C-alpha cells in the first residue's frame, strides 16, 4: 500500500464527535482540493478551537456559519505553521470573534494582523481605523454580533483581545476552560515551525502539511530541512506504533485512518528522490536545482517546478553539497 488516489474529492464535514472540517475552495497544485480548516469542540460545549483558517473571505464566512449552525463560539484560533494557505483568514476571524491566536511562530501572523489595522490600545487589543483600512464588519450569525466598528460587543471588555499572536506552548495546551485538551508536538521539516496538535480524547493528530494521504509534501528549503523532516516522520511512526495516535487530520485532503502505510510511502518517496539526485549527479548533471529538476522530476506538473526546486535545495543540503 501507499498513497491513495481518491475518486471522490474530499469535501469536509462533521468527521467525529469533536471535529468538523470546513474545506476551503482554493484548489491548486499546491493545496490539492483545498485547505482544511478544523473546528474542534468538546461534545455539548458552546466554545470551540479553529485550526488553520484560510484563505480569507469566503472560507472565513463558511467557518463562522458552520460554528453558528453548531451553536459554537470561537474561543481560540490556532495555526499549525505560518504558510499563507493556513493563516490568511486569521485577521478576518479575529475581527469577527475577538478570539486569541496561537501559533508556533508568530511574526508572519502579527504582520498580517498589523496590516489589517490591529494595534494595542490601553492594554487591550482592538482594531484601529487610524492609518489603516479598518476591519470591516463580518456576518457571524448566531456565533456572535458585531458592533459598528467590526468588533464583537464584548471585545473591549477583554484584556488582551486581538492583535498579537501568542506562541504555542510546548506540550499540554488548553486555550480556555472547557476547551479540548491538546498536546503540541514539534514536527519540523516541511517548515521549521510545523507542529502537530494531538487530541488525546480521540487519539488523533492535526498534522498541517507534514503528511498527506494523496501524496508527498514539499520540504521548503531553507526554512524546511530534510533531516528534520525524516525525524518528524520517525516521530509520527512512533506515535502510531505506541498506540497513542490512530488518526491524522492533514491540512489538505482526506483524513488518514491507516497512517503507517502513508508514513512509509512518504519516507520511501523522499529516499527515492535522494537516490535519484545522487544518480543524476554521478551521471554528470550539474549540482544546480534547475538542472536536477529537469533530470529527476520528469513528468511533474510544471506548476510544481518552484516548490520542487525548494525540495531539491533541501536534498543538496542533506547530501552536503
Q: What's residue 7's pLDDT?
A: 83
* Rounded CA separation 275/315 (Å): 10
Q: What is the mean pLDDT of residues 274-278?
A: 97
Residue 18 pLDDT > 60: yes
Residue 3 domain flag: no
Q: Is residue 37, in this structure, part of any structural domain at all? A: yes
Position 308 confidence tier, pLDDT thresholds 50, 70, 90: very high
Alpha carbons 254 and 251: distance in angstroms, whole number? 9
User: What is the structure's pLDDT at 224?
Assistant: 98
Top pLDDT among 132 and 220 is at: 220
Query: 106 near 165, Cβ under 8 Å?
Result: yes
pLDDT at 127 over 90: no
Residue 146 lies in a domain: yes
Would the pLDDT of 24 be above 90?
yes
Mean pLDDT in the chain? 88
Position 201 confidence tier, pLDDT thresholds 50, 70, 90: very high
C-alpha cell at 8: 471522490
Q: Are 88 and 118 in the same domain?
A: yes
Q: Are residues 43 and 165 in the same domain?
A: yes
Summarize the confidence of residues 39-55 as an average pLDDT: 99
202 in a structural domain: yes
User: Where does a domain end: 108, 142, 173?
Assistant: 173
167 shares its domain with 243: no
Spatial distance between the Cα atoms of 12 and 8, rounded to a whole number of angstroms: 12
Provide the domain limits for residue 124: 12-173
In this structure, is residue 251 part of a structural domain?
yes
- pTM (2 d.p.): 0.87
Tell me whether residue 124 is in a domain: yes
| Residue spans of beta strands (DSSP E) within 79-143 | 101-103, 118-121, 124-127
Residue range 20-26: mean pLDDT, rounded: 98
Count of domains observed in the chain? 2
Q: What is the pLDDT of residue 239?
A: 99
DSSP alpha helix (H) spans, 176-252 = 226-241
Last residue within a domain, chosen from 173, 192, 209? 173
Q: Are residues 190 and 162 in the same domain?
A: no
**CATH classification at residue 232:** 3.60.15.10
Q: Taking 70 as the threshold, does the pLDDT of residue 254 lie above it? A: yes
| Residue 126: pLDDT over 70 | no
- What average pLDDT does the segment 212-237 reach? 98
**Residue with the larger pLDDT of the pair 265 and 162:** 265
pLDDT at position 118 is 74
Question: Band of the pLDDT at 140, cuts 50, 70, 90?
Answer: very low
Which are the contacts of 299, defined by CB distance < 8 A and separation ≥ 6? none
> Residue 267: pLDDT above 60?
yes
Task: Out of 130, 151, 173, pick the residue that ends a domain.
Answer: 173
- 2 assigned to some structural domain: no
| Dist CA 133 CA 107 (whole Å) | 21
Q: Are residue 43 and residue 128 in the same domain, yes or no?
A: yes
Amino acid at each position: 500500500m501507499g498513497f491513495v488516489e481518491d475518486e471522490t474529492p474530499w469535501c469536509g464535514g462533521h468527521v467525529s464527535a469533536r471535529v468538523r472540517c470546513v474545506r476551503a475552495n482554493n484548489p491548486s497544485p499546491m493545496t490539492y482540493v483545498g485547505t482544511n480548516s478544523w473546528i474542534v469542540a468538546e461534545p455539548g460545549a458552546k466554545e470551540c478551537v479553529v485550526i488553520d483558517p484560510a484563505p480569507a473571505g469566503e472560507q472565513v464566512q463558511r467557518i463562522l456559519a458552520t460554528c453558528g449552525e453548531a451553536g459554537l463560539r470561537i474561543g481560540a484560533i490556532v495555526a499549525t505553521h505560518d504558510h499563507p494557505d493556513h493563516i490568511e483568514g486569521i485577521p478576518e476571524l479575529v475581527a469577527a470573534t475577538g478570539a486569541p491566536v496561537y501559533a508556533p511562530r508568530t511574526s508572519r501572523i502579527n504582520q498580517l494582523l498589523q496590516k489589517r489595522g490591529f494595534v494595542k490600545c490601553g492594554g487591550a487589543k482592538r482594531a484601529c481605523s487610524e492609518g489603516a483600512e479598518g476591519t470591516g464588519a463580518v456576518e457571524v450569525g448566531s456565533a456572535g454580533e458585531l458592533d459598528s466598528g467590526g468588533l464583537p460587543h464584548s471585545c473591549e471588555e477583554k484584556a488582551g483581545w486581538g492583535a498579537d499572536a501568542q506562541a504555542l506552548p510546548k506540550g499540554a495546551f488548553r486555550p480556555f476552560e472547557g476547551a479540548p485538551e491538546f498536546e503540541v508536538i514539534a514536527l519540523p521539516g516541511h517548515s521549521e515551525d510545523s507542529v502537530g496538535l494531538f487530541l488525546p480524547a480521540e487519539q488523533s493528530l492535526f498534522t498541517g502539511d507534514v503528511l498527506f494521504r494523496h501524496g508527498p509534501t514539499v520540504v521548503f528549503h531553507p526554512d524546511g530541512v530534510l533531516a528534520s523532516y525524516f525525524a518528524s516522520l520517525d516521530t509520527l511512526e512512533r506515535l502510531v506504533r505506541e498506540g497513542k495516535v490512530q488518526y491524522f487530520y492533514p491540512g489538505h485532503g482526506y483524513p488518514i485512518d491507516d497512517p503507517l502505510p502513508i508514513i512509509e510511502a512518504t519516507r520511501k518517496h523522499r529516499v527515492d528522490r535522494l537516490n535519484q539526485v545522487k544518480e543524476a549527479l554521478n551521471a554528470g548533471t550539474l549540482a544546480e536545482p534547475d538542472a536536477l529538476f529537469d533530470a529527476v522530476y520528469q513528468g511533474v506538473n510544471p506548476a510544481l517546478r518552484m516548490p520542487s526546486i525548494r525540495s531539491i535545495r533541501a536534498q543538496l543540503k542533506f547530501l552536503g553539497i
